[in-house]
Structure formats: structure tokens, C-alpha cells
A and B are shown apart, each in its own frame.
Chain A
Amino acid sequence: SHLPQAFPLPSLPRKAPTVLVVCGPAQNGAIGLVCARHLRIFDYEPTIFYPKRSPDPLYRDFTTQCEKMDIPFLSYLPTEVQLINDAYNAVVDAVLGAEAEVAEGREPCAAILATLKHIRIPIVSLDVPSGWDMESGSTGGISPDVLVSLAAPKECARRFLGRQHFVAGRFLPYDVQKKFELNPPEYPGTECVVAL
């Protein structure tokens, strides 16, 4: 639900509330699938690009849920960035998460990230801007407009220069928060997202 806070429906520049959700092969991509489904429930028009699908049964079910909700899956990502800029209001970057290190050099992630570096519409990154080094951030990588840190901000979030930083994933028990000295911000009321 961070997306509507950052990009409320009435404010979107394109006529239809289209959003491209780019999903990587692992957990970050699966989170993207769940995000796409909820965007559809919130009346956005998500499209998914999910080139390398996980064999995990849970993630395969997430894919089915999206397909059955008539969320289109692109068979390829246009390399012509203007096509992406024209068709969508924003891109959700669910390519790589905090667990990826070597994966970023491998296809198709590298090609996807190369394309995303050049788009002009806003990027919303889930947990970690894909391709950034988890700790030191990245020079020359993608520059997201919005970062949604999951559970707690990661080290590389310090280098985030975009417009809005949210924390989402309101499920950490207090003793886990204390044990890892996480000090997450207070969520307002019953919200599951908090702006930093």
C-alpha cells in the first residue's frame, strides 16, 4: 500500500493507472507478484515482467493468482525505453533483494537493470534498489524515486537519494526488534506502511 501513498490514483499522468512490475527470480520477485495482485485490487492496472520464474510452489501459486486476476505478463521487456516511459506511470523494481550478490551479473537481471537505468518514469524499489551493493550502495546503478524498505531499512538505504522512503512489513515481534537493535519507526494507527 506504499504505492498509492506515493502515487495516488488521481495524480497519475497517464490516462490509465498503469504500473509495470518487474520481478526477479527469487524472493524479491515473489514479493513483487504479491504487490501486483494488491495493486489490481486497489484499481491500478499492473503489468508484470517475470522472465525467470521460480520453481518454488508458493511462488508459482502467486503467479497463478496474478494470471487468474487478468494481470498481463509481458513476454519481453522493450529495450526501447521510450516505450516503457509512454505505457506506464511507474515501475516497481522487484528484481533483486538483499540476498542477491552475484546474481546481479547474470542474465536476465543485468539486461533488465541496464534498461531500467535509462527510463524516465519513477521507479519504486522493493527493499533494496536492485543491483546496489547491500552495504555500500551503488554508483551508476538504478536511481529509484521511492524505496520501500521491508521490515527495516538495509545498510545501503543510507545512500538512497530519491523522493520518498517508506518502511513496510509490520510484522516484526518486539523481541526480534530488540534483539537485532532495529528501532523501526512507529507505524501510525493500523497502517502497514510508514514514511520516513
Chain B
Amino acid sequence: QEEAQAIDQELFTEYKFSVDQLMELAGLSCATAIAKAYPPSSFTTSQPAVLVVCGPGNNGGDGLVCARHLKMFGYQPTVHYPKRPSKPLFEGLTTQCEKMDIPFLPEFPTEAAFIDELYGLVVDAIFGFSFKGAVREPFGSILGTLERITVPIASIDIPSGWDVEKGKADGLQPDMLISLTAPKKAAMHFAGRYHFLGGRFVPPALQEKYALNLPPYPDTDCVLQLT
């Protein structure tokens, strides 16, 4: 976890990347990976409906970017964003989604069955690699419901609720994991079908410094399928 935070810090302070830049590239990777694993034609719902659940931090921001690109790729995303930071970055991302007619659910569906009915996929953008400690409401209940759905879940960076290094055996079991920048230790416990790497922005010098040993991305793709 500290290494991931150290890399992030260096990208912002030494390389002068803005959070906006990296979040945009990260969110785009997530949407691209999803489109590769779950193309619109593969949905059994009448429209390729996707529910994107966004948490209170940067992982939620990644989710908002992802939702917007999913819309551009022909999906019908719906966002649930119960706790919104009052920062221009997140307000801007929310507006971009709203102006693209992406609906925002005021309430999270109370029954897992409702989610299974309405959506072909759920994107888990609740907690990321900075997550520590106890899960606060409303996310505890949300995760409880998500643990009972049968449609696939695609988690951004870390399955929400998992310990960033050790995982969580009785927690969320996503079908897809999109590791951003590099896989975190928790990824070793990932048992789903699709593991993608995204966030193709790490300068070669940083990759070397932290001995990331990332396999090469295919030509100009912004995602790499690991499994």
C-alpha cells in the first residue's frame, strides 16, 4: 500500500501530473477493459445497462470517468454517488456525466434481485488503494447488497472492502479486477475471470525505480489483459 502511495506522490510532485490527468487515463482504462471483457452484445438485459457505484474518494472519481466513457462506447450507465466531495474535480466529473444524460440514482436498490433485473454489470468504484479501517455507511449496506448479486462485478483497483494487502475471504468476489498502474498485493487473492492492468502512464524511469516489472502493453492499447 505504501509503495502505491509513494508512486502516486512521485507522479504528482516530481512529474507534475495533475490528479485530473491521471484520473482521466485511469477511468478510460477501466471503461476499455470492461468493453473488452463484456462487449455490449454480450448483455442479456435489453440494453447494455451498467450500474456504477462511486465511493467518496478518488476511486469514485475513477468511476465517474469510467461511466462517461462507457456512455461514449455505447453502454447505458447509471451512477450511484451517495457521498460527494465538494471539490471542483468531482463536481466537474459529475456535471460531465449529468450533461451526457447519465442518470444518478438517489437511492441504492434495496434488494440484490432488483440489481440483477436491471443491470448486466456493476462497476465497483467505492474504495481504492488508500482504504483503511472500518467501512462507513452507506457503503457497508451497499457492499452487503453487492455481495448477494449474481451479475458480474468489475472492481476498480481493489475490490471494495478488501484489505489492500491481504484481501477479504468473505467479502466482495468480483468477476473482473482492473489494477491501476500496477497490481496491488490484494490482487493475489483475486479469484475472478478477468484481471486487467490499466493506467498506462507510468514513466519508464519510475517503473524501474520501483521494480514494477510490468509486462508490455500491446501497441497503443491503454489496457493489458493479465488473465
Give A contacts to B, CB under 8 Å. 1, 4-5, 8-9, 40-42, 58, 60-61, 64-65, 68-70, 170-171, 173-175, 189-190
Contacts and interface: CB of A to CB of B under 8 A. Distances in A.
Contacts of A68: 14-16, 203, 205
B226 to A, nearest CB: 18
B17 A190 contact: no
B100 A64 contact: no
Interface residues of B, number: 22
B220 A1 contact: yes
Interface stretch (B30-38, B125-133, B134-142, B160-168): B30-38
Given A61-B17, A174-B100, A175-B99, A69 B205 contact: yes
A31 to B, nearest CB: 13
A190 B31 contact: yes
B18 interface: yes
Of B14, B17, B36, B99, the most chain A CB neighbours within 10 A belong to B17
Given A1-B220, A70-B205, A173-B100, A58 B18 contact: yes
Interface string B85-98: 00000000000100
Contacts of B96: 173
Contacts of A175: 99-101
Given A42-B219, A173-B100, A174-B100, A61 B31 contact: no
Contacts of A1: 220
A41 B72 contact: no
Nearest to A70: B205
Interface in B177-227: 200-201, 203-205, 219-220
B71 to A, nearest CB: 8
- Interface of B, helix, strand, loop or mixed by DSSP: loop
B43 interface: no
A32 B204 CA distance: 20
Nearest 10 Cβ contacts at the A-B interface? A1-B220, A61-B16, A64-B16, A69-B203, A190-B32, A190-B35, A173-B100, A68-B15, A4-B220, A65-B15
Nearest to A3: B220
Contacts of A65: 15-17
A70 B99 CA distance: 39
Contact of A64 (B15, B73, B99): B15
A60 B31 CA distance: 29
A171 B72 contact: yes
A61 B15 CA distance: 8
A40 B207 CA distance: 14
A174 B72 CA distance: 9
Interface in B60-78: 72-73
Contact of B73 (A4, A9, A174, A190): A190
B18 A61 contact: yes
Contacts of A170: 72
Interface in B17-47: 17-18, 31-32, 35-36
A187 to B, nearest CB: 8
Contacts of B36: 190
14 contacts: A1-B220, A4-B219, A41-B200, A61-B16, A61-B17, A61-B18, A68-B16, A68-B205, A69-B203, A70-B205, A175-B99, A175-B100, A175-B101, A190-B36
A148 to B, nearest CB: 13
A65 B100 CA distance: 31
Given A4-B220, A41-B201, A68-B14, 16 more contacts: A1-B220, A41-B200, A41-B203, A42-B219, A61-B17, A64-B16, A65-B16, A68-B15, A68-B16, A69-B15, A173-B99, A175-B100, A175-B101, A189-B35, A190-B35, A190-B36
Contacts of B35: 189-190
Contacts of B200: 41
A5 to B, nearest CB: 8
Nearest to A172: B72
Nearest to A176: B99
